[in-house]
Each structure stands twice: as C-alpha cells, then as structure tokens.
Amino acid sequence: MAQIRIQNVRKDFGAFNAVKSSTFTVEDGEFFMLLGPSGCGKTTTLRMMAGLELPTSGEIYIGGEEVGMKRASERDIAFVFQMFALYPHMNVRKNISYPLVSQGMRKAEVAMRVAEVAKILRIENILDKPVGGLSGGDRQRVALGRAIVRNPKAFFMDEPLGALDAEFREHMAEELRALHDRMGATTVYVTHDQLEAMQMGDKIVVMNHGVVEQFGKPQQIYDWPATKFVAKFIGSPPMNFLEFEGSVTAGSNFVSLSGHRVKVPESRDERLGKLALGVRPEHIRFNDDSIYRGRVVAVEYLGTTQIVTIDTPHGEIKARTPSNQSARVDDLIGLDFDSRNLTIFDSATGNALV
Ligand code: ATP
C-alpha cells in the first residue's frame, strides 16, 4: 500500500520560500498530478516527496511511514526524469536489468522480471537491440521499463513527456495512463499543461507561488474552482470574470449585473463589495430576449464550435457556441448564462464564495 501524505510541508532555499505550508494526500494507486505555472514549486514538492530534497519543515508519509528525512534510495520509489539517461553502450535488456543486477538479484529472477516488464510495455521484440538506434517512443518505454522493473511503491515523474512533439506526446500520455491502469501503482506526475493534467489525472493539486490553491478531481476543479487563479489556469479559453459592485445574500439565487438579474447557484455566504461572476465560455448562450447585450468583436471558427469574443458592459468575454449559431463581427446579441455553472468570487481575495 502506498498512500502518500504531505502534512504542512514547507521548503525554503535560503531566504526564499519556494513551497508554503502544503497539505494533501495521494491515495494508494492514484494517478496524481502536480499542476501549476513555471516556478510555482511543483518540482520542489515532487522532489521532497521522492526524497531528492529535504523539507524545511513538515512531514511526509509513504505507506503510513514518516520518510521526510529519508533519502530517495531508502524510500522504495522510482523517479522518471524528463531526460532519459539510458546507458548508451548497453542493449535494451541490459538497461532494464541494470537496477536489479546492481541489487544483486539472481540471474533467473532478473530474466523473469525483465520478460514481464517487456510484455507490459510491449517491447519484447527490441530487447536485444542497442538503445542508440531506438525511436523516441521506444527510448521512453525502455526508461519506463527500468523504473517499473523494481516494482517500487510509487512512481514520481517530472514532465516526462515535456520534450516530445504534440502528436507523439498525446500518444505517450495515453500509453502511460493505460500502463498505470494495468499496474495500479501510485504515481505522482508534474506538469504545467492543464489539458494533460485533466486528461490523465485521477486527482490534481493546483499550485501557485508555492501555495496549494486547490486539490481535487479534475471535474471538481473545473466546475468548482476555489480561486480565480484556478479558474483562469484551467480551461481554454479560461473562465470569464464579469467584475461588478454588488452584494450576495446567503440563501439567495440572484445577483445583479447593471440591473440585469442573473440566476446563480445558492450562496451560503454573505458578501458586499467588489465581486466577480465567473462564467465558462461554454455556459454562455445567445438569447434574443435577454436585455443583457454585447457586441461581437471577433469570431474564431473551430469546426463544430466557435469562440465568439463579445464586448459587454463588464468588459470582453469569450463564448463557445455551436458554429452553426450565427455570429458576425458587430452583431449586437442578447446573452444568458447557464445558472448551474456560475461561480461568484470575492474580487479582493480571489476566493470563490460557497
Ligand atoms: P518549473 O516548471 O519551471 O520547473 P516548478 O513549479 O517546478 O517550475 P520549482 O522548480 O519547484 O518550480 O521552483 C520553485 C521556485 O524555487 C523557483 O522560483 C525556483 O527558482 C526556486 N528554486 C528551486 N530550486 C532551487 C534551489 N536549489 N535553490 C534556490 N532556488 C531554487
């Protein structure tokens, strides 16, 4: 069992605080994504989980055991780097066997384990080839083979697909996810790519400036972002924010945008002042009867859908609508918002009101 728990973990580099007090749990067998922009502290968090960096304070548990001060080699984990350092003078079989041979495992057992791994990764046919001439995908599989052959408690991966081109990246992402589903090993994966995180992850931690902004399933994070940062970082185009001065009453279902009543999910919180109504592009509807109107500024055709940029009394917003819905530059159109999918944020703190 390899549940991984991070409790109030902090990391300072000299005077610089790279990771603020972070707490979250990776359940046994989960494919878990650490997501955020460059410099947010996701690699540092991963390195602390893997034992390549010591936390300044806080605790890290793997399988219930406190390992914060243990080195990577004592944690029974495997780390998959972006740059796969295969041994160029060895063939595929030797590269994969290496971690077992260096542990002193018996030859017959090594051969059995390598055969198993080759089968899982579907690389039986290249076991005797030198790694030098392999394609990018095969090199990636060999590197994975070397990581999984030890049967570690958990895998840690830092942007493993970062160096690949888009098409191949998508293919390898699917393959990695399928491999995880076959093996069921706890995997922690760093990425700055929100789509990759949404597609691959069972759960996601979103980080910004060393802070865990939100932690949950992809759909929870997409539908109910806890902060404006998360709402902007996830989704393409990102969530629109219609900033307004107003009030929200506990138990009420309406807010007023320049006199236009917008139905929203019921609030449990009271708030008065600068607020923002968060609307995803796909939750905006064109409705000739609506008194809330805007002028079309641009239309971007995407096949079955289109992105329509609209100038409203609350600034420019982007709507994703079916592309057979007529929208031309300069059209004046009435707008409705899908009431189930709106989020209200306190503009001062950026936090969602729940
Ligand atoms: P990226 O995707 O660019 O790697 P990241 O989210 O993984 O970003 P980290 O690598 O964790 O970010 O770095 C977080 C912050 O800590 C950055 O500002 C970085 O410059 C700083 N940092 C990381 N390692 C060190 C170090 N060894 N010494 C000093 N500062 C460091």
Mutate to test the pocket of ligand 1, among 10, 17, 40, 48 (most ligand atoms within 8 A of CB): 40
Cα 105 from Cα 245, distance rounded (Å): 69
| Beta-bridge partners for 59 | 7
Q: State the pLDDT at residue 1.
A: 66
Task: Report how many domains make up the chain.
Answer: 2
Please indicate, yes or no, whether residues 100 and 178 belong to a single structural domain of this protein: yes
Q: Supply the ipTM of this predicted assembly.
A: 0.96
Q: State the pLDDT at residue 220.
A: 95
> Residues 204, 35: contact at Cβ < 8 Å?
yes
Q: Which of 209, 229, 249 is the endpoint of a domain?
A: 229
Is residue 299 in a domain? yes
Q: How far apart are the first and last CA of the chain?
A: 35
Q: State the pLDDT at residue 296.
A: 97
Please indicate, yes or no, whether residues 198 and 255 belong to a single structural domain of this protein: no
- Cis before 37 (ω within 30): no
Taking CA atoms only, the protein residue closest to ligand 1 atom 23 is 44
Taking CA atoms only, the protein residue closest to ligand 1 atom 10 is 43
Burial 187-199 (b: 16+ CB within 10 A, else e): bbbbbbbbebbbe
Token pair listed for 166? 């888009």
Residue 338 lies in domain: 238-346
Q: Kindly report the number of other CB atoms within 10 A of residue 305's CB atom.
A: 17
Token pair listed for 59? 């605790």
Please indicate, yes or no, whether residues 93 and 172 belong to a single structural domain of this protein: yes
| Beta-bridge partners for 318 | 309
> Residues 90, 131: contact at Cβ < 8 Å?
yes
Atom number of ligand 1 nearest to Cα 159: 2
Is residue 10 in a domain? yes
Is residue 105 in a domain? yes
| Beta-bridge partners for 342 | 279
Please indicate, yes or no, whether residues 85 and 217 belong to a single structural domain of this protein: yes
Please indicate, yes or no, whether residues 174 and 279 belong to a single structural domain of this protein: no
Please indicate, yes or no, whether residues 173 and 253 belong to a single structural domain of this protein: no
81 closest CA partner among 189, 1, 179, 201: 189
Residues whose beta carbon lies within 6 Å of some atom of ligand 1: 13, 16, 18, 36, 38-44, 192
Residues of the chain with pLDDT > 90: what percent? 64
Domain CATH for 146? 3.40.50.300
Q: Which of 203, 229, 255 is the endpoint of a domain?
A: 229
Please indicate, yes or no, whether residues 246 and 337 belong to a single structural domain of this protein: yes
- Outline where the chain has alpha helix (H): 42-50, 92-101, 107-121, 136-148, 166-183, 194-200, 218-223, 228-233
Q: State the pLDDT at residue 83.
A: 53
Q: What are the average pLDDT values for consecutive 10-residue runs of the chain, which has 354 residues?
A: 92 97 96 96 95 95 90 84 74 93 93 90 92 84 86 88 77 85 90 93 97 96 96 95 88 80 82 92 93 95 96 95 93 92 92 85
